[in-house]
Chains A and B, each alone.
Chain A
């Protein structure tokens, strides 16, 4: 299985930029298609799709969220961070079955 590694916690100040990383144990890209996706999960809620295929904003997601990366290294950026963004963020790959998730990064206020 493809293992996705995320830092457990990221502390950030409101109004600043948050950069959340996800590293895959092998490439999750096919040609120019990057099969990495990002989800946000607030306490007591289900995960919500933020970014699909590395850099595409899901419907209804604010433009302060963006994604980048290819191969094995991917980044979710939130700029500027707002209070409503305090949550856990998970990456997920669909390059190979089974689909796997990273362990999540908890975004906290500094």
Chain B
């Protein structure tokens, strides 16, 4: 059974940093292209970042809204995905989901972790 479990969300002040972790199991993580997707309090879903597999040189891609502030990474030995978030803004407030795409759709989602950014 595929499992994705996000942790690390919390209340943080604007300008501060936070690191999210997604622990996975039930599939071959080292071959997987992984993503972070977030959902705002208004329920809008927004793709945040993607990291490809080692065979794709761990290529990374970011939404314009987070480029230069967020960093996606992975540890294949731990089957874990990370999102380092710096210079946080109030508009980064959202539930952050770890997802595995498999192909070009988001087949599996974690339960999400809530990040609240406030001054």
Chain A residues packing against B (C-beta within 8 Å): 35, 37, 39, 45-49, 52-53, 58, 88, 90, 92, 94, 97-101, 103-104
Closest to A95 in B: B104
Please judge, given known A-B contacts A46-B97, A97-B61, A98-B63, whether A88 and B106 are in contact too, CB under 8 Å.
Answer: no
Cβ contacts B41-57/A at 8 Å (1 or 0 each) = 00111110000000000
Taking a contact as CB atoms closer than 8 A, the residue among B45, B64, B103 that contacts A101 in the complex is B45
Secondary structure call for the A interface: loop
19 more A-B residue pairs beyond the given contacts A52-B103, A92-B105, A101-B47, with a C-beta to C-beta distance below 8 A = A37-B105, A37-B106, A39-B106, A46-B109, A46-B112, A47-B45, A48-B109, A49-B108, A53-B104, A58-B107, A92-B106, A94-B105, A98-B63, A98-B64, A99-B47, A101-B44, A101-B46, A103-B43, A104-B43
Report Cα–Cα, A44/B44, bound state, in Å: 14
Question: Size range of the interface on B?
Answer: 10 to 19
Q: CA separation between A101 and B63, bound complex, in Å?
A: 13
| B106 with A49: CB separation less than 8 A | yes
Contacts of A103 in B (CB 8 A): 43-44
